[in-house]
Chain A
C-alpha cells in the first residue's frame, strides 16, 4: 500500500525482500546502502541477533529522485529468513507494494527456496494479496559459488509466474540494482493503473 502525499509531494512505496535464511536479502540491502549517495538514503536499520541473523527486519529508506515533481521514496525491508520466524515475516508483508524473491542458487538450498516461496504465497494470501498480481521479481543469488543449479532449472522450479529474473552475486553487487529497478518499475506502473 503506497502513500501518496500531495501536500509534501511525495510517493512512498514499500518493497520487501523475501527468501530462505542466508540467501542474501540483507546483503542486497547492504550493497544498495553502500552504493547510494548519502543524500539519497536514510539509515540502514538491522534488527539482528548477535550472530548477524535478521531477527525482525532490516529497513532502508531510499529517495532516488523525482518523477513529475513528486519525490519518490522506496522503503526497502527484508524479512527474517529462518523458518521459526514465521510470525514476524507475516507482519512485514503488511502494506507491501512489491516483492523481490531472493533465491539461493546452491543445490542443497533448492528445497529451502521452494519452502520459502510457498511460505510467501501463504503469508501474502493472509494479508489479502495474491503473488500473481503483485509487482514481483526474482533474483537467483550466489552465482559465484560452486555447486550451483543452472539458472534455467531454477527458473522452472521457482518462477511459475514467468516474471523477470536476475542472476545475482549480492556480495559484489552483481544484479542488485537491476533487481531493485525491475521491481520499482512495476510498483510505479501499478500506481499508474490505480491513480
Chain B
C-alpha cells in the first residue's frame, strides 16, 4: 500500500473548516467542500443538507481524474480549474497542490470572478495546512506514536462484527 495515506487531525480539521466557512461567506456560495483526489470527502460548509455529498465527492474526483487524463493526452500536466455552468447553479472545481480538490457551488448571488478570486486565497491557506499535516504525520511516524493507535488492536472479531 502507498505510504501516502491521508490522515486528518482535530486541530488541522478545525483550521480547514474555518477556511471553508470563510470562503463560503466571502464568495456568497451555496456550498463549498473539500475532496481528496481519490474521492473522499474531507470537509464542507454551507447548505449541504439537500446534497448527497458522498456521491458528489466521488463524481468530482472522477471528473478531475478524467480531465487529468485528457490533459496528459494533450501534453499538459493538469487542468487545475474546471467550471460547469448550469441554468441556476454553477460549480467551480480547482486542484490544490495536486492532491486536494476544492469545490464551490454558487448561483446568481455570486459570480465566477468573485469565486475565482476567493478560491485563490483559500487554496493557498489550505495548501499550507496540508503541508502541516504531512509534517505532523512524518513526525508522529518517526516517533512511533501512530503505532500505538487504534489500528494496532484491530482483531478478526472486529471485522466479523462489521459483516454481521
| A interface, CB within 8 angstroms of B | 1-8, 12, 14, 42-43, 45, 47, 56-57, 59, 61, 64-65, 67-70, 72, 75, 87-88, 90-92, 94-95, 97, 128-129, 133-135, 177, 180-181, 184-185, 188-192, 194-195
- In the complex, what's the smallest C-beta–C-beta distance from A63 to chain B, in angstroms? 9
Roughly how many angstroms separate A134 CA and B59 CA in the complex, as a whole number? 25
What chain B residues lie within 8 Å of A192 (beta carbons)?
Answer: 151-152, 154
CB pair B2–A1 under 8 Å, yes or no, is yes
- In the complex, what's the smallest C-beta–C-beta distance from B66 to chain A, in angstroms? 6
Q: Count residues of B near A (Cβ-Cβ below 8 Å).
A: 43
Roughly how many angstroms separate A135 CA and B1 CA in the complex, as a whole number? 8
What chain A residues lie within 8 Å of B68 (beta carbons)?
Answer: 91
> Is the contact region of chain B dominated by helix, strand, or loop, or is it mixed?
helix
A59 and B5 contact, Cβ closer than 8 Å, known pairs A94-B37, A195-B151? no
Q: Which of B7-15, B20-28, B82-90 contacts A (4 or more CB under 8 A)?
A: B7-15
**Of A6, A8, A67, A95, which one neighbours B162 at CB under 8 angstroms?**
A67
CB pair A65–B66 under 8 Å, yes or no, is no
Q: Does any Cβ of A come within 8 Å of B50's Cβ?
A: no
Q: Does any Cβ of A come within 8 Å of B46's Cβ?
A: no
Shortest beta-carbon contacts, A-B, top 8: A95-B38, A7-B13, A91-B65, A68-B150, A64-B162, A5-B8, A3-B6, A3-B40
Q: Could you show 8 A-B contacts with beta carbons less than 8 Å apart?
A: A1-B2, A1-B4, A4-B8, A61-B55, A134-B1, A184-B163, A188-B154, A195-B5
- In the complex, what's the smallest C-beta–C-beta distance from A96 to chain B, in angstroms? 8
- In the complex, what's the smallest C-beta–C-beta distance from B18 to chain A, in angstroms? 13
Nearest A residue to B149, CB-CB: A195
> Is the contact region of chain A dominated by helix, strand, or loop, or is it mixed?
mixed
**Of B3, B9, B14, B66, which one neighbours A91 at CB under 8 angstroms?**
B66
CB pair B158–A68 under 8 Å, yes or no, is yes
- In the complex, what's the smallest C-beta–C-beta distance from B43 to chain A, in angstroms? 9
CB pair A56–B66 under 8 Å, yes or no, is yes
What chain A residues lie within 8 Å of B54 (beta carbons)?
Answer: 42-43, 61
- In the complex, what's the smallest C-beta–C-beta distance from B132 to chain A, in angstroms? 14
A4 and B7 contact, Cβ closer than 8 Å, known pairs A14-B38, A45-B55, A67-B154? yes
CB pair B2–A6 under 8 Å, yes or no, is no
Interface centre among B13, B38, B42 (most CB of A within 10 A): B38
CB pair B65–A94 under 8 Å, yes or no, is yes
**Of B5, B10, B62, B149, which one neighbours A57 at CB under 8 angstroms?**
B62
